[in-house]
Structure 1
Amino acid sequence: MIFVLRFHAEITVKSKSLRQRYSKVLTGSIRNLMKAISPEIKVRNLWDKLEVETPEVPEVCAQVLDRLQNTPGISHIEQVENTPFESFEQLLEFVLDKQGEHLANQSFAVRVKRKGKHEFSSQDLAAYIGGGIKARVEGTRVQLKNPEQTVKIWLEDDQANVEIERFNGLGGYPIPTQETVVSLISGGFDSAVATYALMRRGARTHFCFFNLGGAEAHEAAVKEVSYFIWEKFSKSHPVKFVSIDFSDVVDRILTQDQPGLMGVLLKRAMLRAASIVASRLNAQAIVTGEALGQVSSQTLTNLQVIDEVTDTLVLRPLIVSDKQDIVDLANSIGVGEMAAAIPEYCGVISNKPTVKAQRGAIKVAEETLNDELIESAVLNGKLIDVRNIPTVTQEETHIRQINDLAELNGNELVLDIRAPEEEELNPLVLSGSKVQHLPFFKLARAAEGLDKNQPVVLYCKQGVMSRLQAITLRNMGFTQVAVLADEAVCKS
């Protein structure tokens, strides 16, 4: 099977040298991604498009399409069938074989594009193919404006491609055609979507998490959200995940006598630390999920005061976005459910936060937040390769992960904690094991009635909620808790 990849429109209007660079980067990224699927996949750079040729194996084709649809730089993907061009008659038979059944009882138009020398025009070929379809496919009628179906043919010298289906791409620029950034990730909707936005725009994006003193489940969940975003949209290029313990900074902020400034003080401290991280990772900007006016620290006055603490460029891709639009985008890219499941930890919430912080008051309040405190927090931070997050998270939380269904002995209570609509689409059925559907938002209360010595195995698609809820059950006194990896279910 052949997939033809069309570049994002903003790439096609660039200079020849830039276009060559972007197409070369995108080709390299796709080759890296395809290696993990099958060594038989071929990727060709053809100047105005890329071609990906895959074995005729449904599972492989599905994986390839999923990867291509989530790779920045691609406007759309055309699934095509290729044939040598011999004559009008031969091409008509090919089109009827591939598309005839699909066109029955519908209006249609034929569009032909040619490259190379031919003794006929594109209109001649389109008229012949259209006439043949109308004469031989029941119920068809030609309709050049707004047809129900469009037959698209690309003829290049003596080779013809017929489009079978078209899929939307992600758009944006290939990673890393833009420079490197560090995204401040909390695991919530805003930071996740902001991170995605920079990846889509072609920036290699590292992650930086500030632990404000929340439970271990919070950091574990943020790591898994970060891993999900990277694995889905940026897997072609490894990045770092930096975790910084900010509990000492929070303690200092709580001791100063200006409670209304706490939110601004925390954001300024985060930018100071993030600037050090950005410098060490050779990143040119810091990314945040702030939106204008969403909370008190995000007024124009406060944002200006916050930014003054660093010379590093601060990017806010969501600055004019409505919250519901952010949530909708989070859901569309697959992180909404995970973001909703992550608990909020903030140790510096004020009852009366200021919306217009005064610089003089900030300077006085920051006297205890010296450079040594910030630098020490960064120095003692943990830096890991994002590719190692699944292993590191499992080791840090000490939650057993079941990677093969053979590890189940039938005595466990398997709890499918996915949301009801997701469970209904694809119910979890395990031979020899009792499976109970219990949505994650009902688990804590329902767990009070369960036997705490009963082995419990939790399952969700991405593994974030299952690990979070496993930690919750363990803290409630359950002695045998494990999570079931989606890979184990897929192998069954």
Structure 2
Amino acid sequence: MQRVMALSLGELVLKGKNRHTFLQKLIGDIKKNLRGIDHGKIYHNMGKVYVEVVEDNEEKLINRLKHVFGIVYIAPSIKVETNPEEIEEAILHVVKETLEKHPEYKTFKAQTSRGDKTYPLTSMEINNKIGGIVLKNFDVKVDVHNPDFYVYCDLKKDTYIYTEKIKAYGGLPKGTNGRGLLLLSGGIDSPVAGFLMAKRGVSIDCLHFHSYPFTSERAEEKVKTLASDIASFSGKVNFYSVNILPIQKEINKKAPEDEMTIISRRFMMRIANKLAEERGYDSIITGENLGQVASQTIGGLQVTNAVTDKLVFRPLIGMDKVNIIDIATEIGTYETSILPFEDCCTVFLPKHPNLRPTIEGIEESEKDLDIDSLVEDAIAKMEVTVIE
């Protein structure tokens, strides 16, 4: 008997002629995420990927595999040759382990997937065989409607027996949908936006704006921690750190006070756009949520969009704040996000921001600003850190 992790792939198996490309990318991501953990062969068979377990480190493997986008379920399984004796031995082994772990379980159901159509028994007949084995050897009953646990049998060239399916995040392998530059603040929203776009196959790097010394070094370390959390899902992250304070001072001197926030956002987008052009990003990603703050009204978003020709993803745009917090909690960024360190958006914050800005009106307010020079100077002084 060989212990393996059986990985269900969800939408990836629905791909057409390019399925092999997605599959090879996924296997590459699995290998990278399992670096430093002993494991055996990684292989693909009839719509699933399998990772051989070589020592008692299943929990570590599961925790790493849950961070690989493209995997929907992880099933710790026993692999045996497809013959009745070995299959029965695996069933007894797996059910015994399951009931030792969960003595409260009293009912079960057998469920077979017969990939090898040459096998002489039908799926229903195999389920009946499994049921008989379990009923004969364990003090449990069959419940086909609401069982405490399932005994799964995937019958292929080899057979895989398991009772547990651990939910992963699904999505698509990293980088299969291009590169995105995430505007990462220290708040709750932007790390969630990065996670959601990474889940759709976008390779993520992060652009952070600070206003040092008005904002502290500890505030920036907080954001780097959030970037590290994103890297645990998306892989290595380039972290671009830009001090926007000189720009904010110029805006404060030369533009109306009530447009401070929206003009600052336009400069952030200009800097992101220039970086995207220079460094080959296909998209810009923000954590903006419609109506959440003054700069995120429809007018505010139109005015911000006007300074970039890049595709801007806003995956949180129609979400409820409670939903965003739920995702942040699940992926482990929430507790860091709520640490009480200031960010650059609190500097020169207007008491009564303009809630209905127009492109023409904001362009008029910006006419005394040397926009190109301010953007180029900010990028020239930018710091870059690689976060694994």
Q: 1:241 to 1:47 in 2, by over 3 A?
A: farther
Aligned to 2:61: 64
Aligned to 1:361: 361
Listed as ranges, the matches of 1:166-245 within 5 Å are 166-213=165-212, 214-230=215-231, 232-235=232-235, 238-245=236-243
Q: CA deviation at 1:124?
A: 1.6
Aligned to 1:153: 153
Distance in 2 between residues matched to 1:78 and 1:133, nearest whole Å? 20
- Taking every aligned residue pair, what percent have the same amino acid on both sides? 28
Instruction: Find the residue that maps to 1:341 and give its secondary structure.
Output: coil
Q: CA deviation at 1:136?
A: 3.0
Whether contact under 8 Å (1:253, 1:348) holds in the other structure is: no
Q: CA deviation at 1:364?
A: 2.1
Distance in 2 between residues matched to 1:286 and 1:205, nearest whole Å? 10
Amino acid corresponding to residue 61 of structure 1 in structure 2: E
Listed as ranges, the matches of 1:408-487 within 5 Å are none
Aligned to 2:292: 294
Amino acid corresponding to residue 219 of structure 2 in structure 1: H
Whether contact under 8 Å (2:149, 2:163) holds in the other structure is: no
Aligned to 2:141: 141
Whether contact under 8 Å (1:206, 1:239) holds in the other structure is: yes
Q: CA deviation at 1:81?
A: 0.8
Are residues 1:98 and 2:94 paired? yes
Distance in 1 between residues matched to 2:71 and 2:384, nearest whole Å? 31
**What is the aligned counterpart of 2:266 among 260, 268, 277?**
268
Are residues 1:248 and 2:250 paired? no
Distance in 2 between residues matched to 1:243 and 1:63, nearest whole Å? 33
**What is the aligned counterpart of 2:305 among 294, 297, 307?**
307
**Please, which moves more after superposition, 98-107 or 193-202?**
98-107
Distance in 2 between residues matched to 1:304 and 1:76, nearest whole Å? 40
Q: CA deviation at 1:249?
A: 0.3
Distance in 2 between residues matched to 1:23 and 1:277, nearest whole Å? 31
Q: CA deviation at 1:269?
A: 0.5
Instruction: Find the residue that maps to 1:324 and give its secondary structure.
Output: helix
Aligned to 1:437: none
| RMSD across aligned positions (CA) | 1.8
Q: 1:80 to 1:262 in 2, by over 3 A?
A: same
Distance in 2 between residues matched to 1:252 and 1:179, nearest whole Å? 35
Instruction: Find the residue that maps to 2:8 and give its secondary structure.
Output: strand
Distance in 2 between residues matched to 1:46 and 1:128, nearest whole Å? 25
Whether contact under 8 Å (1:249, 1:369) holds in the other structure is: no
Whether contact under 8 Å (1:24, 1:45) holds in the other structure is: no
Q: CA deviation at 1:342?
A: 4.5
**What is the aligned counterpart of 1:341 among 339, 342, 346?**
339
Amino acid corresponding to residue 181 of structure 2 in structure 1: V
CA deviation profile, 1:179-215 (whole Å, cap 9, x unmatched)? 1000001121011111111111111101101112312
Aligned to 1:45: 44
Whether contact under 8 Å (2:227, 2:237) holds in the other structure is: no
The alignment's TM-score, normalised by the length of structure 1, stands at: 0.73
Are residues 1:82 and 2:82 paired? no
Q: CA deviation at 1:43?
A: 1.2
Whether contact under 8 Å (1:73, 1:170) holds in the other structure is: yes
Distance in 2 between residues matched to 1:361 and 1:101, nearest whole Å? 69
Amino acid corresponding to residue 77 of structure 1 in structure 2: I
Q: 1:121 to 1:359 in 2, by over 3 A?
A: closer
Whether contact under 8 Å (1:85, 1:91) holds in the other structure is: yes
Distance in 2 between residues matched to 1:174 and 1:101, nearest whole Å? 33
Distance in 1 between residues matched to 2:328 and 2:134, nearest whole Å? 43
Distance in 2 between residues matched to 1:216 and 1:113, nearest whole Å? 55
Whether contact under 8 Å (2:150, 2:164) holds in the other structure is: no
Aligned to 2:377: 376
Q: CA deviation at 1:90?
A: 4.8
Q: 1:41 to 1:342 in 2, by over 3 A?
A: farther
Q: CA deviation at 1:69?
A: 0.8
Amino acid corresponding to residue 128 of structure 2 in structure 1: A
**Please, which moves more after superposition, 315-324 or 339-348?**
339-348
Amino acid corresponding to residue 63 of structure 1 in structure 2: K
Aligned to 2:34: 34
Whether contact under 8 Å (1:187, 1:226) holds in the other structure is: no
Q: CA deviation at 1:257?
A: 4.4
Amino acid corresponding to residue 377 of structure 1 in structure 2: A
Structure 1 segments (4+ residues) deviating >3 Å:
100-105
